[in-house]
Amino acid sequence: MFQYTVRRIIFTVPTVILTVSIIFFVLRVLPGNPAVLILGDSASAEQIANLQAKLGTDLPIWEQYIHYAVNIIQGDFGNSLTTGRPVTEQLLSLIPHTLELALAAVFIGALIGIPVGIITAVKRNTFIDGFFRLGALIGISMPAFFLGLLLLIAFSLKIPLFPSLGAGKGIVENLHHLVLPAFSLGLINAALVMRITRASMLEEVNRDYVRAARAKGLPKSKVVGKHILRNTLIPVITVIGLDITTLISGAVLTETVFSRPGLGSLAVGAIKTRDYPTLQACLILFAILIIFVNLLVDLSYSVINPKIRAK
């Protein structure tokens, strides 16, 4: 176990370096001169030179790359071009908002997705199964921003139950603001969870131990509840808790729709204002987060299934 963990962590290092380098390449090398991109074609040579000095893009590429790497390790992402404040400070102040949204979405996803997944697997090929599978299909096909907009139109603009923008102050107001964004992200999550729960339940149904339990005369509820469910849920829970890629893209769109402060809306805002350092920092943070969470998922799999360790 220890050996596997260490090896898996070591394997992560090149992935992190490579990913961070890809971001550097795309944002710094591809555009030619980022300063021109930020200021537009009408900028004077002096303005461009000033900004280049500020961003450090006047140095040779390899020197820029070293600065970039050192700064990331130190957690220093420079200053925002729009507010002038350190980017790291901004990121830290916004992380709780995005985290709150993500956790609420995961919670809603599990709360709806797991029971519905179980019901559809048990009642396979009935009307209920068909109905929820269609619902899940719509869920996974629904772009996050469109579901957000529909909820916004229905429950905020037409029936004014919930506020349409911002995050609110204080716990009560905060939760009130959270409901619609959390559901628009959570329902999509629920569709994914339902499909995976149903699939893994159906996989277990035909196993020998289930047949044995049935043969010895256990009631169906016990076979499903005690035997199948336990074996199904461990992987399902591991995966849903950590569905990070979908969550991050979803958060970017949902935060934009609901004008909610967070890392996603920060990134989108940074694109509109050409705030390069902020955009770069958001992308690096997202990528590292994804790699880290994937590592956790892999490690938790190996705890559950010893066969993976052996490989």
Partner 1 sequence: MIEAKLKENNEGVLAQNNQMPVDKKAKSSNPSKVYWKVFKTSPLGISGLVILVLIIFAAIAAPILAPYDPLTQNITQRVQGISAEHWLGTDAYGRDILSRIIFGAQTSLTVGLLSVLASGVIGTAIGIFAGYKGGKFDEILMRIIESIMSIPMLLLGLMLLVALGSNMTTLVTALSIGLVPSCARIARGPALEIKESEYVKAAIASGASSFRIMVVHILPNIMGSLLVVVTLNMASAIRIEASLSFLGIGIQPPTPTWGNMIKDSLSYLTTAPSLAIFPGLALMITVIAFNLIGDTIRDASDPYIIRKRG
- CB of 26 or CB of 99, closer to partner 1: 26
User: For partner 1, which is the closer residue by CB, 19 or 174?
Assistant: 19
Q: Please check whether residue 279 is in contact with residue 270, taking contact to mean a CB–CB distance below 8 angstroms.
A: yes
For the CB of residue 6, give the shortest distance to partner 1 in the complex, in Å. 18
Least spacing, CB of residue 219 vs partner 1, in Å: 28
Is 46 or 208 the residue whose CB approaches partner 1 more closely?
A: 208
User: Least distance (Å) from partner 1 to the CB of residue 82?
Assistant: 15
For the CB of residue 288, give the shortest distance to partner 1 in the complex, in Å. 8
Residues near partner 1, by CB under 8 A? 14-15, 18-19, 22-23, 26-27, 30-31, 37, 134, 137-138, 140-146, 149-150, 152-153, 157-158, 192-193, 195-196, 199, 239-240, 242-246, 248-249, 252-253, 256, 267-268, 271-272, 279, 283, 286-287, 290-291, 293-294, 297
Nearest approach in angstroms of CB 10 to partner 1 is 12
Closer of 136 and 229 to partner 1 (Cβ): 136
SS in 3 state form for the chain?
A: CHHHHHHHHHHHHHHHHHHHHHHHHHHHHCCCCHHHHHHCCCCCHHHHHHHHHHHCCCCCHHHHHHHHHHHHHHCCCCECCCCCCEHHHHHHHHHHHHHHHHHHHHHHHHHHHHHHHHHHHHCCCCHHHHHHHHHHHHHHHCCHHHHHHHHHHHHHHHCCCCCCCCCCCCHHHHHHHHHHHHHHHHHHHHHHHHHHHHHHHHHHHCCHHHHHHHHCCCCHHHHHHHHHHHHHHHHHHHHHHCCHHHHHHHHHHHHHHCCCCCHHHHHHHHHHCCCHHHHHHHHHHHHHHHHHHHHHHHHHHHHHCHHHHHC
CB of 61 to partner 1, least distance (A): 15
Q: What is the rounded CA–CA span in Å between residue 143 and residue 275? A: 27
Place of tokens 């000033």: 50
How far apart are CB 267 and partner 1 at their closest, in Å? Answer: 7
Nearer to partner 1, 49 or 138 (CB): 138
Nearer to partner 1, 96 or 143 (CB): 143
The nearer residue to partner 1, 82 or 294, going by C-beta atoms, is: 294
